[in-house]
Structure 1
Amino acid sequence: MSGSVVSPIDRHPPATVTSLRDGIADVLAENYRMLKVFRDIRWPCKYRRSYGVVHLEIELEEASPNA
Protein backbone atom coordinates (compact mmCIF):
# COMPACT_ATOMS: atom_id res chain seq x y z
CA MET A 1 0.00 0.00 0.00
CA SER A 2 1.78 3.13 -1.13
CA GLY A 3 1.72 6.23 1.01
CA SER A 4 0.60 4.41 4.15
CA VAL A 5 1.99 5.39 7.52
CA VAL A 6 2.71 2.82 10.22
CA SER A 7 2.14 4.18 13.71
CA PRO A 8 3.88 2.79 16.81
CA ILE A 9 0.59 1.24 17.92
CA ASP A 10 0.43 -0.81 14.68
CA ARG A 11 3.81 -2.41 15.30
CA HIS A 12 2.93 -3.95 18.66
CA PRO A 13 -0.06 -5.81 20.04
CA PRO A 14 -2.13 -3.65 22.45
CA ALA A 15 -0.95 -5.56 25.52
CA THR A 16 1.35 -8.48 26.20
CA VAL A 17 2.45 -10.37 29.27
CA THR A 18 6.20 -10.87 29.12
CA SER A 19 6.36 -13.09 32.18
CA LEU A 20 4.46 -13.75 35.36
CA ARG A 21 6.33 -10.84 36.93
CA ASP A 22 5.68 -8.02 34.50
CA GLY A 23 3.54 -6.83 31.63
CA ILE A 24 3.61 -4.24 28.90
CA ALA A 25 0.74 -2.14 27.58
CA ASP A 26 0.52 0.58 24.95
CA VAL A 27 -2.42 2.93 25.41
CA LEU A 28 -3.36 5.86 23.20
CA ALA A 29 -2.63 9.07 25.10
CA GLU A 30 -6.18 10.34 24.58
CA ASN A 31 -7.66 7.15 26.08
CA TYR A 32 -8.05 8.72 29.53
CA ARG A 33 -10.40 6.00 30.77
CA MET A 34 -7.89 3.20 30.17
CA LEU A 35 -5.04 5.22 31.66
CA LYS A 36 -7.25 5.83 34.72
CA VAL A 37 -7.74 2.06 35.09
CA PHE A 38 -3.97 1.56 35.32
CA ARG A 39 -3.61 4.49 37.72
CA ASP A 40 -6.48 3.32 39.96
CA ILE A 41 -5.19 -0.25 40.40
CA ARG A 42 -1.96 1.25 41.78
CA TRP A 43 0.38 -1.41 40.41
CA PRO A 44 4.02 -0.34 40.31
CA CYS A 45 4.68 0.75 36.74
CA LYS A 46 6.78 2.99 34.57
CA TYR A 47 5.15 5.32 32.04
CA ARG A 48 6.71 6.65 28.85
CA ARG A 49 4.91 8.77 26.25
CA SER A 50 5.90 8.75 22.59
CA TYR A 51 4.01 9.81 19.44
CA GLY A 52 0.61 9.91 21.16
CA VAL A 53 1.03 6.51 22.83
CA VAL A 54 1.65 5.90 26.54
CA HIS A 55 3.88 2.84 27.01
CA LEU A 56 3.45 1.18 30.42
CA GLU A 57 5.76 -1.39 31.99
CA ILE A 58 3.88 -3.00 34.88
CA GLU A 59 5.54 -4.91 37.72
CA LEU A 60 2.95 -7.60 38.44
CA GLU A 61 5.05 -9.62 40.89
CA GLU A 62 5.22 -6.75 43.39
CA ALA A 63 1.49 -6.10 42.92
CA SER A 64 0.43 -9.70 43.52
CA PRO A 65 -0.75 -10.53 47.06
CA ASN A 66 0.63 -14.09 46.60
CA ALA A 67 4.13 -13.04 45.51
Structure 2
Amino acid sequence: MGRTVQMAYVRIEMLSGRSEEQKAIIARAVTDALQEHAGIAPARLLIVFEDVAVENWASDGALVSAKRRASTSKI
Protein backbone atom coordinates (compact mmCIF):
# COMPACT_ATOMS: atom_id res chain seq x y z
CA MET A 1 0.00 0.00 0.00
CA GLY A 2 1.35 3.46 -0.93
CA ARG A 3 1.92 6.40 1.32
CA THR A 4 -1.01 8.82 1.65
CA VAL A 5 -0.12 12.45 1.02
CA GLN A 6 -2.24 14.86 3.00
CA MET A 7 -3.33 17.91 1.00
CA ALA A 8 -5.92 20.62 1.52
CA TYR A 9 -7.58 23.37 -0.48
CA VAL A 10 -9.22 26.14 1.51
CA ARG A 11 -11.41 28.78 -0.11
CA ILE A 12 -12.18 31.82 2.01
CA GLU A 13 -14.99 34.03 0.77
CA MET A 14 -15.54 37.32 2.52
CA LEU A 15 -16.71 40.83 1.82
CA SER A 16 -14.20 42.96 -0.06
CA GLY A 17 -12.08 45.36 1.91
CA ARG A 18 -9.46 43.28 3.74
CA SER A 19 -5.90 44.40 3.19
CA GLU A 20 -3.12 42.19 1.88
CA GLU A 21 -1.64 42.24 5.39
CA GLN A 22 -4.90 41.00 6.92
CA LYS A 23 -5.11 38.20 4.36
CA ALA A 24 -1.51 37.20 5.11
CA ILE A 25 -2.36 36.97 8.82
CA ILE A 26 -5.44 34.86 8.07
CA ALA A 27 -3.44 32.61 5.73
CA ARG A 28 -0.81 32.04 8.43
CA ALA A 29 -3.46 31.23 11.06
CA VAL A 30 -5.28 28.78 8.77
CA THR A 31 -1.98 27.15 7.77
CA ASP A 32 -0.90 26.78 11.39
CA ALA A 33 -4.28 25.33 12.42
CA LEU A 34 -4.35 22.76 9.62
CA GLN A 35 -0.75 21.78 10.27
CA GLU A 36 -1.37 21.34 13.99
CA HIS A 37 -4.82 19.71 13.90
CA ALA A 38 -4.85 17.84 10.58
CA GLY A 39 -1.19 17.15 9.93
CA ILE A 40 -1.19 19.08 6.64
CA ALA A 41 2.27 20.33 5.68
CA PRO A 42 2.26 24.03 4.71
CA ALA A 43 3.62 23.12 1.26
CA ARG A 44 0.57 20.88 0.75
CA LEU A 45 -1.98 23.59 1.50
CA LEU A 46 -3.55 25.95 -1.01
CA ILE A 47 -5.60 28.89 0.28
CA VAL A 48 -7.66 31.05 -2.08
CA PHE A 49 -9.23 34.33 -1.01
CA GLU A 50 -12.36 35.37 -2.86
CA ASP A 51 -13.39 38.98 -2.29
CA VAL A 52 -17.12 39.41 -2.76
CA ALA A 53 -18.59 42.83 -3.45
CA VAL A 54 -21.06 43.91 -0.79
CA GLU A 55 -23.87 44.12 -3.34
CA ASN A 56 -23.36 40.42 -4.12
CA TRP A 57 -23.75 39.17 -0.56
CA ALA A 58 -26.97 38.52 1.36
CA SER A 59 -27.61 37.56 4.95
CA ASP A 60 -30.85 36.82 6.75
CA GLY A 61 -32.82 37.29 3.53
CA ALA A 62 -31.51 40.76 2.66
CA LEU A 63 -28.59 42.19 0.73
CA VAL A 64 -25.79 43.31 3.01
CA SER A 65 -25.50 46.53 0.99
CA ALA A 66 -29.14 47.37 1.77
CA LYS A 67 -28.62 46.61 5.47
CA ARG A 68 -25.61 48.92 5.56
CA ARG A 69 -27.53 51.73 3.85
CA ALA A 70 -30.39 51.30 6.32
CA SER A 71 -28.08 51.35 9.33
CA THR A 72 -26.22 54.49 8.18
CA SER A 73 -29.47 56.32 7.45
CA LYS A 74 -30.49 55.90 11.12
CA ILE A 75 -27.45 57.82 12.34
Fold-level similarity (TM above 0.5): no
Give the number of the structure whose alpha-carbon radius of gyration is greater.
Answer: 2
Higher strand share: 1
TM bucket (normalised to shorter chain) is under 0.3
Higher helix share: 2
Could you tell me the TM-score, scaled by structure 2's length?
Answer: 0.26
